[in-house]
Amino acid sequence: GAVVSQHPSWVICKSGTSVKIECRSLDFQATTMFWYRQFPKQSLMLMATSNEGSKATYEQGVEKDKFLINHASLTLSTLTVTSAHPEDSSFYICSVPGPISYEQYFGPGTRLTVT
Amino acid sequence: AQKVTQAQTEISVVEKEDVTLDCVYETRDTTYYLFWYKQPPSGELVFLIRRNSFDEQNEISGRYSWNFQKSTSSFNFTITASQVVDSAVYFCALSDYNTDKLIFGTGTRLQVFP
């Protein structure tokens, strides 16, 4: 069965609104989770590392005030896209490191469309 | 800097043909892991294989095989007797030893025609 879930699987929102995406680790606790973004026909790019109990670590070029990450518990991380614009339309995927070194479990992704 | 290069953007084959997807990586780490993922049209990433830097044995799993050559920093993936269901985008990825972050290649879109 699924190890990582994401909700919602897809969302359409109007420009200027905020959208929250949840990533849940179903099988084990995760002090770290990763958020990736994938534009159409492009590769996955790491946006940030979500850390339970502390601030997220953002990759270069990712606006921390626009992409708010909250690692609320050992099984839940949320990504909020604030004041979304059409250029934020993308496929957002989270991943959870597994208990064995270098294992990664990916969520099914959330497709965001901003109109 | 770490980098993964998948030079083939798109490959088209006819069913039952063999196809090899190339992956070349760069890293200064002596310990690292390499991965292949399949991304069908649904978008969900499907894990195919993980290989650590100390294990250069080639691996075969059904119609899939992987050739890891440290000397050329390559980790190529071959599908034997391809099928239409193999049509997808395939990503090669490299893990960062210190952070577990994955660095993905740009992907190769494979289309298998009946």
Which range among A73-77, A95-99, B45-49 shows the weakest confidence by mean pLDDT?
A: A95-99
Supply the mean pLDDT for chain A.
93
Nearest CA in chain B to A98: B100
Q: What percent of chain A has pLDDT over 90?
A: 83
Indicate if the pLDDT at residue A1 is higher than 70. Answer: no
The predicted pLDDT at position B55 comes to 86
The amino acid that residue A22 corresponds to is: E
The predicted pLDDT at position A97 comes to 87
Give the confidence band of A72 by pLDDT, cuts at 50, 70, 90: confident
Indicate if the pLDDT at residue A84 is higher than 70. Answer: yes
Report pLDDT digits (tens) over B65-101. Answer: 999 999 999 999 999 999 999 999 999 999 977 778 8
Give the confidence band of A101 by pLDDT, cuts at 50, 70, 90: low
**Cβ–Cβ of A49/B44 closer than 8 Å?**
no
Supply the mean pLDDT for chain B.
94
Indicate if the pLDDT at residue A104 is higher than 90. Answer: no
Candidates A47, A104, A111: best to mutate against B (most CBs of B within 10 A) is A104
Candidates A43, A45, A91, A93: best to mutate against B (most CBs of B within 10 A) is A43
Chain B positions in Cβ-Cβ contact with residue A44 (cut-off 8 Å): 45, 91, 102, 104
Mean pLDDT of all residues in B23-44? 93
Mean pLDDT of all residues in A33-41? 94
